[in-house]
Chain A
């Protein structure tokens, strides 16, 4: 079978497609999905929960005979069983990481919520953490590198101080970057927990203030919900809008496919027949256009039948702008990897990056920002990406520094 982007998308619609591949093809699929951070997602779709338990017990014996016997004892229509042992192993391991993160995020969320509630009017969990905390479809097998929270801007410095008292500190960054975060961005520099190493991104809005499109806090507040554990998130519809805004106002599209899958699973959970729930929220927050792009992209990628008229109404910019955006996003949202058989589209990536920057800030600020940033960039281009790096660092974030 041709290993291309279409096949990767198909895997998430019909996970059993994996069975039709040869073992070397599956090995490449594992690698591609791992890089896109969606391997655990596929693993979740393939192993349903009850099978999961039985399987764990069997594979711990980890010998081929046990596995063979296991294959025989289960009915032939159970899907994971016709997979080879190596593929099963890679999928299960990816799922273990996701499950571990999920376990961790509940602990962290409880603590963060608990310590910030006295100082901030709201403590809202965003993106990946929110999907997990609400047990959303998008959260199944989702992995993430940090926990995003939204607090009230007027109480931002109180929040920072409280977090510091509980062991959350920011890394040292340059004065320019510090000012960038404070003045223009919608978040402060990431904070890491001094013992656990968990990272949180504290936001005071959902998009950069400097873009002039950031919704006011009073409007945002209307879309906050509280789950039965006392954890606050945005409503599912507002989460969809936030994810779409994030995706279509980004400058970096290397792992955009994970976000596309998030949107797809949120849409499934909301129900494609309830689009008006999403468009109402989008209208309220002022992001109709991004929702138009998101729905159009989901329709094309996953071959959904969504009402064309609704989408056309949402895409309320000039024909040229719409055509330009759709030209870019026809490609850059799909998974990229050199093991995949697909046409290179570096130009569209470049355009996507430029587009992301232009949307983010007014042109005079953008020019200044890029000028400041590019001094170092130019030197790195000439001398190699690692000119600034220390001579001998072999340590890794996840592992103790020893060999």
Chain B
């Protein structure tokens, strides 16, 4: 059994695993934030494990199970998906417990500490866009969840790898040959999945919050040049609530936070097939004018 700690502000995780690919991937993805020398003096927020499930199943199509503080929130996956399972398990852990933030399922990228949220369902091209921007002058705060301090427009970074799916895997490997990638988790519920390490700069600034200035709902369409639609506040609010992880759990404070966010930011739905055009639009029409 291997044990390692992941120092991922604002949280500290300790992970136990007997699946070699889990520790190996965590090590290459998290770099300096990964430590297999267990610091006994540190405050661990969550004790996680990703291990083989028992029985002779271990030798025939082995499965891996995720536990958070000895509780198992979801069904096991096949062992080759164990690292992706750990990443998703960490997302679950934060979304289910950290009620001091209004948490939105969204990528968060910033320029000059001005942040744009990209809330979107899988398949919208959100992660590919995140990967592109994070390699082109934008600071990655998160690919999966925006931790918003209630009553403010401040978003806290939670720097984690970018989860790429299916055809975007080859694309990302081609465009960013310098980047570090996890091993492939084949045939998951979302298809083939790979995790791409965040740029070093993202880790270096992982304690610096940013102010949310825009909310952009991306839709990648192979045959469509950049189309931009300004959303009404109601449309944007409904989409934001739909992407919120803990809207009902924290109730009024979440409602107030999201409404005030909607009132103070710009919001757009975009259709695109060229990432550079999107970058230009975001920089000129949102970042530079706020």
Contact = CB atoms under 8 A, between A and B. Distances in A.
Interface in A360-403: 380-387, 389-396, 398-400, 402-403
Interface stretch (A67-75, A90-98, A172-180, A201-209): A90-98
Contacts of A60: 100, 149-151, 253
Contact of B249 (A100, A380, A382, A385): A100
Nearest to B74: A396
A395 B74 contact: yes
B99 A97 contact: yes
A86 B43 contact: yes
A27 to B, nearest CB: 5
A62 B105 contact: no
A61 B101 CA distance: 11
A394 B74 contact: yes
A35 B100 contact: no
A24 interface: yes
A146 B188 CA distance: 32
B74 to A, nearest CB: 5
A49 B43 CA distance: 27
Contacts of B53: 384-386
A23 interface: yes
A223 interface: no
Contacts of B188: 392, 394
Contacts of B40: 24
A297 B187 CA distance: 52
A318 B149 CA distance: 61
Nearest to A93: B99
A62 B149 contact: yes
Contact of A403 (B75, B78, B88, B251): B88
A24, A100, A384, A396: residue with the most chain B Cβ atoms closer than 10 Å = A384
A394 B77 contact: yes
Interface in B102-125: 105, 121-122
Contacts of A96: 99, 249-250
A403 B100 contact: no
Interface string A319-358: 0000000000000000001110000000000000000000
Contact of B57 (A35, A386, A392): A386
A383 B55 CA distance: 5
B73 interface: yes
Contacts of A403: 88, 91, 105, 122, 144, 163, 190
A24 B42 contact: yes
A52 interface: no
Interface stretch (B24-32, B64-72, B170-178, B232-240): B64-72
A31 B120 CA distance: 32
B229 interface: no
Contact of A389 (B42, B69, B76, B99): B76
B55 A381 contact: yes
Given A392-B188, A394-B88, A384 B57 contact: yes
A153 interface: no
Interface of A: 22-24, 26-28, 31, 34-35, 59-62, 84, 86-87, 89-90, 92-93, 96-97, 100, 337-339, 380-387, 389-396, 398-400, 402-403
Given A61-B152, A389-B76, A402-B122, 19 more contacts: A22-B41, A27-B43, A28-B44, A31-B47, A31-B69, A31-B70, A35-B71, A60-B150, A61-B149, A62-B100, A86-B43, A90-B45, A90-B97, A93-B100, A100-B249, A384-B57, A385-B54, A391-B78, A403-B105
25 contacts: A23-B43, A24-B41, A24-B42, A31-B47, A34-B71, A35-B69, A35-B71, A84-B43, A90-B45, A92-B100, A93-B97, A96-B99, A96-B250, A382-B56, A383-B56, A384-B54, A384-B58, A385-B53, A391-B78, A392-B188, A394-B77, A399-B92, A399-B95, A402-B121, A403-B144
Interface of B: 40-47, 53-58, 63, 65, 69-71, 73-78, 85, 88, 91-92, 95-100, 105, 121-122, 144, 149-152, 163, 187-190, 245, 248-251, 253
